[in-house]
Structure 1
Amino acid sequence: MRAFDLAASAKAAAQAAVDAAAPDLVALSHRLHAHPELGFAEERACGWLGEQLTEHGFTVTAGVGELPTAFVAERGEGPLVLGICAEYDALPGIGHACGHNVIASAAVTAALALGAVADDLGVTVRVLGTPAEENGGGKVLMLERGVFAGVHAAMMVHPSPRERLDPTCLARAQLHVEYDGRAAHASACPEDGVNAADALTVAQVAIGLLRQHMTPDQRVHGITTTGGQVPNVIPEHTEADYYVRAATLAGVTDLEERVRDCFRAGAVATRSRLTLSSTSPAYSEFRHDPGLLAAYERNALVAGREFPTVTAEDDRQAGSTDMANVSLAIPSIQPLVSIDSGDVGLHQAEFAAYAARPAADRALLEGGLAMAWTCVDAALDEGLRARLLAGATAGG
Structure 2
Amino acid sequence: MQDTVEAVYATVAGNVAARADRLWDVSTALHRDPETSWAEHRAAALLSGELERAGFRVDHGVAGLPTAFVARTGDGDGPRVALLMEYDALPGLGHACGHNLIAGAGLGAALALRDTFGEVPGTLLAVGTPAEEGGGGKVNEVAAGVFDGVDAALMFHPGVYDWSWAPLTASAQLRVGFHGRAAHPTGNPTEGIDALAALIQFFNTIAVLSRRLPSGSHVQGIVSQGGKATNIVPDYAEGLFGLRGGTTGALHRLVAELRSCAEGVALATGSRAEVTQVGEVYEHFRPNDVLAGRFTDHIARSGIELTQPTAGVYLGSSDIGNVSTRVPALHPFVAIMGADGSDHTPDFARAAAGERARRVMLASAEALACTAADVLMDSAIREEAWSRLREREKAETA
Report the alpha carbon displacement of residue 255 of structure 1 after superposing the two structures with TM. Answer: 1.4
Q: Does 67-76 or 226-235 show the bigger shift?
A: 226-235
Distance 1:373 1:202 in 2: 55
> Are the structure 2 counterparts of residues 342 and 393 from structure 1 closer, same or farther at C-alpha, using a change threshold of 3 Å?
closer
> Paired residue for 1:42?
40
Distance 1:308 1:392 in 2: 22
Q: Does 198-207 or 135-144 show the bigger shift?
A: 135-144
Is the CA contact 1:290–1:394 (under 8 Å) kept in the aligned structure 2?
no
Distance 2:382 2:314 in 1: 33
Report the alpha carbon displacement of residue 270 of structure 1 after superposing the two structures with TM. Answer: 4.3
Report the alpha carbon displacement of residue 205 of structure 1 after superposing the two structures with TM. Answer: 0.6
Structure 1: segments with no counterpart, 5+ residues: none
Report the alpha carbon displacement of residue 156 of structure 1 after superposing the two structures with TM. Answer: 0.6
Distance 2:57 2:151 in 1: 19
> Are the structure 2 counterparts of residues 290 and 91 from structure 1 closer, same or farther at C-alpha, using a change threshold of 3 Å?
same
Report the alpha carbon displacement of residue 229 of structure 1 after superposing the two structures with TM. Answer: 5.2
> Are the structure 2 counterparts of residues 287 and 183 from structure 1 closer, same or farther at C-alpha, using a change threshold of 3 Å?
same
Tell me the amino acid that sits aligned with residue 200 of structure 1.
L
Indicate which of 73, 91, 100 corresponds to 2:71.
73
> Are the structure 2 counterparts of residues 318 and 257 from structure 1 closer, same or farther at C-alpha, using a change threshold of 3 Å?
same
Q: How many percent of aligned residue pairs carry the same amino acid?
A: 37
Is the CA contact 1:303–1:369 (under 8 Å) kept in the aligned structure 2?
no
> Are the structure 2 counterparts of residues 232 and 217 from structure 1 closer, same or farther at C-alpha, using a change threshold of 3 Å?
same
Tell me the amino acid that sits aligned with residue 80 of structure 1.
P
> Are the structure 2 counterparts of residues 361 and 227 from structure 1 closer, same or farther at C-alpha, using a change threshold of 3 Å?
farther
Distance 2:25 2:195 in 1: 49
Is the CA contact 1:90–1:96 (under 8 Å) kept in the aligned structure 2?
yes
> Paired residue for 2:52?
54
Distance 2:126 2:271 in 1: 48
Per-residue deviation, residues 206-251 of structure 1 (Å, max 9, x unmatched): 1001112212231111333333455455444434322222222111
Matched, 1:149 2:148: yes
Q: Does 45-54 or 276-285 show the bigger shift?
A: 276-285
Matched, 1:204 2:223: no
Tell me the amino acid that sits aligned with residue 327 of structure 2.
I
Report the alpha carbon displacement of residue 298 of structure 1 after superposing the two structures with TM. Answer: 0.7
> Paired residue for 2:9?
11
Is the CA contact 1:204–1:262 (under 8 Å) kept in the aligned structure 2?
no
> Are the structure 2 counterparts of residues 268 and 126 from structure 1 closer, same or farther at C-alpha, using a change threshold of 3 Å?
same
Is the CA contact 1:198–1:266 (under 8 Å) kept in the aligned structure 2?
no
Is the CA contact 2:81–2:376 (under 8 Å) kept in the aligned structure 1?
no
Matched, 1:338 2:339: no
Distance 2:251 2:278 in 1: 15
Report the alpha carbon displacement of residue 10 of structure 1 after superposing the two structures with TM. Answer: 2.4
Per-residue deviation, residues 324-376 of structure 1 (Å, max 9, x unmatched): 22112111111111111441213334322322222222221111111001112
Report the alpha carbon displacement of residue 167 of structure 1 after superposing the two structures with TM. Answer: 2.4
SS of 2:27 mapped into structure 1: helix
Is the CA contact 2:228–2:234 (under 8 Å) kept in the aligned structure 1?
yes
Per-residue deviation, residues 271-299 of structure 1 (Å, max 9, x unmatched): 44433211233222322222211111110
> Paired residue for 2:394?
none
Is the CA contact 1:184–1:234 (under 8 Å) kept in the aligned structure 2?
yes
Is the CA contact 1:202–1:269 (under 8 Å) kept in the aligned structure 2?
no
1:188-227 alignment runs, 5 A limit:
193-227=192-226
Distance 2:287 2:377 in 1: 20
Tell me the amino acid that sits aligned with residue 17 of structure 1.
N
> Are the structure 2 counterparts of residues 342 and 220 from structure 1 closer, same or farther at C-alpha, using a change threshold of 3 Å?
same
Is the CA contact 1:75–1:118 (under 8 Å) kept in the aligned structure 2?
no
> Paired residue for 1:287?
286
Distance 1:364 1:182 in 2: 57
Is the CA contact 2:75–2:120 (under 8 Å) kept in the aligned structure 1?
no
Indicate which of 347, 350, 355 corresponds to 1:350.
347
Is the CA contact 2:160–2:338 (under 8 Å) kept in the aligned structure 1?
yes
Q: Does 126-135 or 220-229 show the bigger shift?
A: 220-229
Is the CA contact 1:341–1:354 (under 8 Å) kept in the aligned structure 2?
no
Tell me the amino acid that sits aligned with residue 28 of structure 1.
V
**TM-score with structure 2 length normalisation?**
0.88
Per-residue deviation, residues 26-85 of structure 1 (Å, max 9, x unmatched): 222222223333322322222221112112221111111112221101122252211011
Q: Does 341-350 or 294-303 show the bigger shift?
A: 341-350
Report the alpha carbon displacement of residue 94 of structure 1 after superposing the two structures with TM. Answer: 2.8
SS of 2:204 mapped into structure 1: helix
Is the CA contact 1:118–1:124 (under 8 Å) kept in the aligned structure 2?
no
Distance 1:36 1:187 in 2: 52
SS of 1:29 mapped into structure 2: helix
1:187-336 alignment runs, 5 A limit:
193-228=192-227, 231-307=230-306, 310-312=309-311, 315-336=312-333
Distance 1:94 1:189 in 2: 48
- RMSD value over aligned CA atoms? 2.5
Matched, 1:113 2:78: no
Distance 1:262 1:120 in 2: 57
SS of 2:280 mapped into structure 1: coil
Is the CA contact 1:186–1:232 (under 8 Å) kept in the aligned structure 2?
yes
Tell me the amino acid that sits aligned with residue 22 of structure 2.
D
SS of 2:222 mapped into structure 1: strand
SS of 1:280 mapped into structure 2: strand
1:69-108 alignment runs, 5 A limit:
69-78=67-76, 79-108=78-107
SS of 1:206 mapped into structure 2: helix
Distance 2:373 2:80 in 1: 12
Distance 1:289 1:160 in 2: 19
> Are the structure 2 counterparts of residues 121 and 133 from structure 1 closer, same or farther at C-alpha, using a change threshold of 3 Å?
same
Structure 2: segments with no counterpart, 5+ residues: 392-398
Distance 1:83 1:342 in 2: 30
Is the CA contact 2:217–2:244 (under 8 Å) kept in the aligned structure 1?
yes
Q: Does 159-168 or 42-51 show the bigger shift?
A: 42-51
